[in-house]
């Protein structure tokens, strides 16, 4: 892992981890021993930690390409993204007495790292879809089977399913009972039409699926600013402004490239 990741995964640091286990550096533990304590550790992740780092990067890249629907911009970018990695590591952390697992995507140039959390299972995704009540984009649902929660550095900005449900309720209530109106083109935006899936921490702002916008066959997504209570203009995109994206994978590419919203 690069230096930034090593600085993050330390006991007693800013993340307040009580224990750290980098699996490929500690292969003395059996699957039976680990699975008794780390309930969310997938067996495939454990096995991944027992091959070389070059094989780990190649395997996970193939997994992304296989599981995510083809996108003409995203799939070529994924090849580039994985080519920039020096490792894909599996880390077990202990926090507040509980163990959990993370997949760490470490960039070789030491510019950043990404953290992916264990995948969602089909049963939980089905319940999630029912609770949301809208046909969520297929590429987003496919990504949940890779990571149910994903982020850069210390922030897990791409919310897990439970966090999506919670954030949606909080955002909806704040808009329904607040004083600010949101407009999209020439009409008011129904607060129920925004489904936040990424949180811009510290700004009360979210990237949201927008149930009133279907640029292709599936729902697009827009940036909701908690500062001025506006959403992205999907027709007049200006350089430097938060963008609207026609698909989840289009947004994901921008996120992995390092887009920072104001």
Q: Which of 139, 46, 61, 159 is nearest to 92 (CA)?
A: 46
Q: What is the DSSP string of 107-166?
A: ETTSS-EEEEPPPPPHHHHHHHHHHH-S---HHHHHHHTT-SSEEETTEEEE--HHHHHH
Q: Which CATH number applies to 119-262?
A: 3.40.1580
pTM listed for this prediction: 0.93
- The reported pLDDT for the residue numbered 242 is 61
Q: Which residue has the higher pLDDT, 238 or 212?
A: 212
Domain ranges, ordered by start, for the chain: 3-117, 119-262
pLDDT: which is higher, 204 or 241: 204
pLDDT in tens, 121-150: 999 999 999 999 888 999 999 999 999 999
């Amino acid at each position: 892992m690069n230096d930034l990741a090593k600085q993050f995964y330390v006991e007693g640091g800013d993340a307040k981890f009580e224990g750290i286990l980098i699996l490929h550096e500690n292969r003395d533990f059996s699957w039976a021993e680990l699975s008794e304590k780390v309930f969310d550790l997938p067996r495939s992740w454990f096995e991944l930690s027992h091959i070389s780092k070059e094989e780990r990067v190649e395997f996970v890249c193939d997994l992304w390409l296989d599981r995510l629907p083809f996108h003409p911009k995203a799939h070529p970018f994924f090849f580039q993204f994985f080519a920039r990695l020096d490792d894909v590591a599996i880390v077990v952390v202990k926090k507040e007495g509980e163990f959990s697992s993370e997949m760490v995507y470490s960039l070789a140039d030491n510019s950043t790292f990404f953290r992916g959390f264990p995948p969602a299972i089909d049963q939980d995704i089905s319940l999630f879809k029912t609770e949301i009540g809208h046909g969520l984009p297929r590429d987003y649902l496919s990504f949940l089977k890779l990571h149910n929660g994903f982020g850069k550095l210390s922030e897990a900005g791409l919310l897990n399913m439970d966090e999506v449900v919670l954030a949606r309720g909080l955002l909806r209530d704040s808009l329904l009972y607040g004083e600010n109106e949101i407009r999209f083109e020439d009409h008011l935006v129904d607060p129920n039409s925004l489904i936040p899936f990424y949180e811009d921490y510290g700004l009360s702002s979210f990237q949201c699926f927008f149930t009133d916008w279907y640029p292709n066959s599936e729902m697009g997504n827009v940036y909701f600013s908690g500062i001025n209570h506006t959403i992205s203009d999907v027709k007049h995109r200006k350089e430097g402004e938060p963008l609207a994206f026609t698909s989840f994978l289009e947004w994901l590419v921008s996120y992995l490239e390092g887009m920072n919203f104001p």
